[in-house]
Amino acid sequence: PAGEFYHRLQNYVRFKTPELSPTALLQDPASPLQIIERLWQEPIQADDREKIARLVEQFKLLRAILRRTLDRTWQRHWQHFIVSRIAHGEVISDAVAHKAERVLSDHLAVIQTILGRFRAHADKVAGDNIPERLRYSYRLTDEAISVVIEGNLLKAMRTVASLPGATLEERLTAQLAAAIQCELTYRQQQGYQSLLIHPAKSADVQRTRTAANNGQRRDANERYLYHLSLLKKYTSSVLFLATVGSEEGRTVEQLLFALAAGISMIFATVVAFYAQSAYGNLTTSLFMALVVGYMFKDRIKEIGRSLSKTLLRRYFYDRRTYIYTLDRKQRLGRVREKMVFESEDNLPPQVKAAYANGQISPIEIDGSSEHIIHYARNVRLIADAFRKVRREGVALTGLSDILRLDIRPFLHKMDNPTERRYYLDGDTLRTIQLNRVYYINVISTYQLVGEEQIFISQNVRVTLNRTGLVRVEKV
């Protein structure tokens, strides 16, 4: 049922993180880094709440943009160039190795430039006349930026580890390890909590470890992960939005229910009047007629309610959610949601083609043993409202709509995750353990209002077994 589906569905809407290149982040007058530097040019008064709020907002926005910028830059300059060459079987020549080292050096140089310009304000923040809120926000953002850089460089290290040739890998890994260690040392010096306590590999240390030490490390790492989560939420809050949801068509539903009740009451009243005029008062026939009339009245009412719900689902969505800024001053749009079990005959041709393309067995094409859930969202955004959200800085031009679906209800009736099967190896009978899995095909489409063309944005296969998620792969 739709209610159970929505109970398992979590929706998260926020502003889409603006995209800036490293050059734009450093030089664009609208970038958070540039705005922070301009705001610091004049002394900040403790009672200047507007200026303090602007600085805090730009601190948080810088962290959000920096993460996206670094990840995209590394992926574009490294993976698209180096990995594509390796994938095509090219040997890493001296020229390619030099290019790889230059890409990494440029990436590290950009990071150091951004860090240097942001951390140049540390002495100003430490001043006596600086409000505690501003000092607190700066330090949290500084810590969050350090964590973002560490994560980006760890991803880069995993990419470098896939390079053929130990010499080049060792040189690049050494540079990355030095940069990561520099950030870890910095956070330790600043007294930040985002430091992971990892198990020691030294044999002497391992022999002296006790259960108490293991427990302390476990507790510290639990607090570390919890702190990282709070740190991310704090610095990402600049992109958060408020939503107000309600069921759609409730007023019309109640009016239709009242109409159904009225029609059933008219029927019962007509039966009562007719029976009274035909059989008289206080007769057995009148009593039987009233009972039959009440029975039909009740059924007419329920049939009317059922028809009303069917009519409502045809013309109304299940839910309507309005999207606002956190201060509720601007309404940015609304989202309407509907969930139905669909027949394969009603699927658009593009969806049928994408579905057939992802089949593993030809038996699946029959579709007799499958159920199709059609979850539709009608999204309307108010363009003018986005222009009024922020007076300065990079423009916020879109929303990120994140959906999370709880898959546990799909697992309840699954069979054992493994099965042993016999097979013949020559003249020898052997057994092999096979994994039993189930598939969910997820096809995402979008369609512009007023247009008939449907675009397939995503086609993935979700593999499950009774223990949970196995993998997700594109089709």
pLDDT, position 199? 66
**What's the pTM?**
0.79
In the numeric block, which tokens belong to residue 327? 């201060």
Which candidate, 118, 153, 154, places its Cα nearest to that of 139? Answer: 118
In the numeric block, which tokens belong to residue 241? 């939005």
pLDDT, position 344? 83
Beta strands 418-425 and 399-405 are unpaired
> CA 219 to CA 227: how far, in whole Å?
12
Domain segments of the chain: what residues?
31-240, 249-315
Q: Which amino acid is at 262?
A: G
Tell me the backbone φ, ψ of residue 330, rounded to 5 degrees. -125, 130
Q: What is the 3-state secondary structure (H, E, C) of the chain?
A: CHHHHHHCEEEEEEECCCCCCHHHHHHCCCCHHHHHHHHCCCCCCCCCHHHHHHHHHHHHHHHHHHHHHHHHHHHHHHHHHHHHHHHCCCCCCHHHHHHHHHHHHHHHHHHHHHHHHHHCCHHHHCCCCCCHHHHHHHHHHHHHHHHHHHHHHHHHHHHHCCCCCHHHHHHHHHHHHHHHHHHHHHHHHHCCCCCCCCCCCCHHHHHHCCHHHHHHHHHHHHHHHHHHHHHHHHHHHHHECEEEEEECCHHHHHHHHHHHHHHHHHHHHHHHHHHHHHHCCCCHHHHHHHHHHHHHHHHHHHHHHHHHHHHHHHHCCCEEEEEECCCCCCEEEEEEEEEEEECHHHCCHHHHHHHHHCCCCHHHHHCCCCCEEEEEEEEEECHHHHHHHCCCCCCCCCEEEEEEECCHHHHCCCCCCEEEEEEEECCEEEEEEEECCEEEEEEEEECCCCCCCCEEEEEEEEEEECCEEEEEEEC
* Residues 337/313, Cβ–Cβ less than 8 Å: no
HSE on the CB side for 334, CA within 13 Å? 12
Per-residue pLDDT of the chain (475 residues; tens, 9 = 90+): 678 888 888 888 999 998 899 999 999 999 999 999 998 888 887 778 888 888 999 999 999 999 999 988 888 877 665 655 555 555 566 777 778 788 889 899 999 999 999 999 988 888 778 888 899 999 999 999 999 999 999 998 888 877 766 677 788 889 999 999 999 999 999 998 888 877 655 445 455 556 556 677 778 888 888 999 999 999 899 999 999 988 888 888 888 888 888 888 888 888 888 888 887 777 888 888 888 888 888 888 888 888 888 888 788 888 899 999 988 888 999 999 999 888 888 888 888 888 887 777 766 656 566 788 999 999 999 988 888 887 788 888 889 988 898 988 888 889 999 999 998 988 899 999 999 999 988 999 988 887 878 888 888 999 999 999 999 998 8
* Residues 32/56, Cβ–Cβ less than 8 Å: no
Q: Which amino acid is at 348?
A: P
pLDDT, position 88? 53
Strands across the sheet with 468-474, in order? Answer: 438-446, 455-465, 468-474
pLDDT, position 170? 84
pLDDT, position 46? 77
End-to-end CA distance of the chain: 28
Residue 229 burial (10 A CB sphere; 0-12, 13-18, 19+): exposed
pLDDT, position 202? 46
Q: Is 468 left (phi over 0), alpha (psi -120 to 50) or beta?
A: left
* Residues 115/149, Cβ–Cβ less than 8 Å: yes
> CA 108 to CA 100: how far, in whole Å?
12
| In the block, residue with structure tokens 């301009």 | 38
Handedness of CA 18, 23, 29, 33 (dihedral sign): positive
pLDDT, position 153? 93
Neighbours of 300 (CB within 10 A): 18
Within 8 A by CB and 6+ apart from 177, the residues are: 157
